[in-house]
Structure 1
Amino acid sequence: MSRPAAPKANTEALLREGTPMSALHTLSARALAAQVIDGAASAAEVARHFIARVEALNPGLLAIVQFDPERVLREAADVDRRLAAGDALPLAGVPVTVKDNLWVEGYRITQGSLLLEDFIAPRDAWAVARLRALGAVVLGITNCSEFACKGVTSNLVYGATRHPMDPALTPGGSSGGAVSALASGLGLLALATDAGGSTRRPAAHCGLVGLKPSAGMIPHPWGFAEPNYGLSVIGVLARDVTDCAWVYDLLAAYDAGDPAGVPIPSGLEAGTPLAVPSRDLRIAWSPRLGCDFAIDEDVLAALQSRVDALRAAGWRIDNGDPPWPTEAREYPLLALQQAGLHALYGSRLASERERIDPNLVMQIEAGARCAPADIARALRLRERIGHALGSFFAEYDLLLCPTAPVTAWPLDHLGPPVIGGRPAGPRGHAAFTPLFNYCGVPACSVPAGRVRGLPVGLQVVAPRYEDATVLRFAKVVESTALRDA
């Protein structure tokens, strides 16, 4: 797919100009699947609708970077045949997108890198195969930053993905293509990855629900070697919490080929509405996460207002911070990512430097400087970070905190230069998410209002394997926000 010219109008403007669209893209994934199962619409009709949307809207977004309409129609026709044969397909006809670092058989999957520009996936990633088996249709492959290791979504293969509400802004990263597509109605669900917030932060910037499950809950036994080994998980993106929980429940499983896999159930009630969580939950609100992280005052005010609304609705929420080690500050284990990048791609730096994103070149070179003792110290710090959060969860069942300290920023910046009135480092916009990857716990970003017309997200975190508790309370947050909108 060639790189489109810069857009002259945003997504909503294109729709107002009269692009012919039905209402299928406004449905929840659950409702659309029910229509296909009941025969009110065929999977082929659904596919044609979403193909038209991609063709109309994607050139101004660069959200989907691999798109094959004929293949989409073939997949949809196969779903219709399977339904006619009596197969049970809970996701029948639901269009999903897949991030460009997850394998989809027969598609060009590059991880946003020219080093992989000719790679054709030999098989589906486990999660992709599972969604297909349940009747979902892969609509396309979504853009990501190179090796999913940058907080904005731009690369040398395809270019920069634009925010669905304002083409001058970034949707964040590394799963910016996934959120830009989903927020624009290019699909109803999205698969992504999250090694330090790559699912949750873009979700917050685009008004979506983004779940980072507990480590090992969604199998990922094959695919690309992961620079953030032991930290990255499959992320689930949806437009509402119920869709997110539904798909998570369908994906949560055990595969012995995944060394992180755990043979435990999701904790949700398959196919039933999310249960209301117990009013006895012990909940803490940590506006700066106990690390004095910078946050824009209006973003903080919006999130504080959401927490106050939950308190007014009868939820007991204390102010409380996890007792992190003093070293647990902005991206404290970045050395592990840098060392992982160098181990995988350092040998190609001398001959192919110009084919690698300059930001990634700096990370690979930093990884070359990591001594064994540096890695050992980082791993020990990870252990201490995990112990600190574990002691916090001995007193609380849930932690609420910001997902990102800022709204979306200009497209050509790696991050905002100032956050909360302070000069911001290159990872300041990402400070609130990676600690939970280090601990392997579930965390979900939920839309919590708008600041200056742009979405912000509240992060819901629980102890490891309490994913169901996270999703149930995320539904409470969502319901409160919708009531107050």
Structure 2
Amino acid sequence: MTDPWQLDIGALAQAYAARTLSPVEALGSVLARLDAVNPRINAVIARDDSAAFAAARESERRWLRGAPLSALDGVPISVKDNIPVAGMPCRWGSALYPAHAQLRDESPAQRLRDAGALLFAKTNVPEFTLQGYTDNLVFGTTRNPWNTALTPGGSSGGAVAAVAAGIGPAALATDGGGSIRRPAAYTGLVGLKPSWGMVPRAHGLPEMLPGLEVIGPIARSTADLVRVLQVIAPTLRPLDPLDPLSLPAPQPLRIAHWSRIAGSPVDPVIDQRMAAVAAQLRGLGHHVTAANAPAAVHVFNRLAWPVLSATGLAAVLHDSTPKDDARMTPALDAMLVTGRSLRAVDLFNAQVHQHALRDAMDQVFEEVDLVLTPACAAMPWPAEQSHPTTIAGQRVDPRGHAVFTAFVNGAGLPALALPAAPSSDGLPIGFQLIGRHGSDALLCALGLAFERQQPPARRWPLPSLSESQPA
């Protein structure tokens, strides 16, 4: 018998409509699952049971009247801890941010609340969401449910660990350089980095990565991802209702497969799974051809991204004091020192590289419809370690595992992360599809078609997180 915490959004809505399950019962099941597994993975760092149950009771009354607000009415959804939610703290993984409850939701969270979603928990992040693993001085290390010795990635590590482990069917997160897509890949989930401007934002934290960071959904299927996207991207709905049951499969597409960025190493297991994904896409009738990424991608990764992220941190912490700096991790303190040392001309040059990247990607999409890449260059590494130091036997820098993602943010493009077949030892592996600006609906349609061709077997990270085992 399936427990309510195992149900996806579509199944929850059907059960609510049939009155075989209530939102109160579903929330209780999800919170029981949280109690059972969170001590092992440290995904959730704040919760508001009282407010969530009050909202669940209101949702239950709406379903009994046959008047739900949306398909998300009564669905428990967690929120990443750099997105303010009324009644819960927003610490940004930093000891510098106070623990008091926020007074209002950031606008995408408010849209979910207005649609009846139950915003029941906040999920862990690395300090200032600027690293590719999830650990901080306030809440500690988040672990991958599939192997708790390993990281789920970052910066949405808490979000993906929660959804993968059954703590809610979906999560609201952010992606400034791959922070949705890489963690989704490491935990067997679907995640969308929307086009720039697709999900309007207001009433949030100070902008760390101007023009780069977006809010997007994480879910266990593309259909559920679309259900969340319908709510948080209101400008998309008048153009395309994105009904996950009727979104048509796309016509044959031209897809460029980038297996490397300027020769950077990729784990051989990921290479193997990418070849299988390319074959599956061909089986759907699409034209997949090997191609090289333009040089502007590598230039952005090496010369622009480090400047944009370091100066962003320096800007947010402009008024901080040496006493404040001492409360940061050594890695973020070093990034802050770098950001403060950079000159206006350095930022100007980084922006020049970013504009060149956008021009180069415009040229790419004159020839093809989509780009296929791995979501990550490395398999997950030890949970307390900030990054892998080697990939496929080659030494790499702290961003070596992340070469496939930040350029998408730099160009303002949408990208959808989907699960490929897992490794022989059961670890999830993911890939991403990148489209031109505004092609979010096309990516979702292809994601749905890919899942229909080979429906993923529903796996849960057991027995390592079995409810029968002590936490």
1:437 Cα deviation after fit: 0.2
1:115 aligned to 2:86? Answer: no
Matched, 1:305 2:286: no
- The alignment partner of 1:283 has SS state of strand
Residue number in structure 1 paired with 2:197: 216
- 8 Å contact from structure 1 (residues 144, 176) kept in 2: yes
Contact kept, 8 Å, 1:43 with 1:93, in 2: the verdict is yes
CA RMSD of aligned residues (A): 1.9
Look up the match of 1:472.
445
Tell me: CA distance 1:206–1:331, structure 2 relative to 1, closer, same or farther (3 Å): farther
C-alpha change, 1:295 and 1:265, in structure 2 (3 Å) is: farther
**Partner secondary structure for residue 349 of structure 2:** helix
Report the secondary structure of 1:231's partner residue. Answer: coil
SS of corresponding position for 2:171? strand
Match of 2:432? 459
Partner residue in 1 for 2:334: 362
Q: Give the match's secondary structure for 1:202.
A: helix
Within 5 Å, which residues of 2 pair with 1:365-380? 365-380=337-352
Q: Is residue 230–residue 237 contact of structure 2 (8 Å, CA) maintained in 1? A: no
| Cα distance in 1, alignment partners of residues 37 and 282 from structure 2 | 40
Superposed, which structure 2 residues align to 1:335-354 within 5 Å?
335-354=307-326
Inter-partner Cα distance in structure 2 for 1:331 and 1:160 = 30
Q: What are the superposed Cα offsets for residues 64-112 of structure 1, whole Å, 9 maximum, x if unpaired?
A: 0002322221121121233345533221211100000001101111111
Greater relative contact order (CA < 8 Å, ≥ 6 in sequence):
2
Q: Per the alignment, in what secondary structure is the counterpart of residue 367 of structure 2?
A: coil
Q: Which residue does 1:276 correspond to in 2?
A: 249
Indicate the residue corresponding to 2:468 in structure 1: none
Pairing of 1:296-445 with structure 2 (within 5 A): 296-325=267-296, 327-330=299-302, 332-445=304-417
Instruction: Indicate which of 265, 273, 278 corresponds to 1:294.
Output: 265
Give 3-state SS (helix, strand or coil) of 2:226's partner. Answer: helix
Residue 446 of structure 1 aligns to a residue whose secondary structure is strand
TM-superposed CA distance for 1:472, in Å, is: 1.2
1:468 offset after TM fit, Å? 0.7
Aligned length: 455
SS of structure 1 residue aligned to 2:300:
coil
TM-score, L = length of structure 1: 0.90
Give the Cα separation in 2 of the matches to 1:367 and 1:41. Answer: 52
2:41 pairs, out of 35, 56, 61, with 61
Contact 1:212 1:234 in 2 (8 A): yes
User: Residue 274 of structure 1: CA displacement?
Assistant: 2.7
Identity of aligned residues (%): 35
Code of the residue aligned with 1:462 in structure 2: it is G
Shift of 1:480: 4.1
SS in 1 for 2:197: coil
Change in CA separation of 1:331 and 1:437 when aligned onto 2, cut-off 3 Å: farther
Mapped partners of 2:207, 2:317: distance in 1: 11
- Unaligned runs of 5+ residues in structure 1 are 1-20, 255-262
* TM-score, length basis structure 2: 0.92
Residue of structure 2 in register with 1:89 after alignment:
69
Partner residue in 1 for 2:149? 168
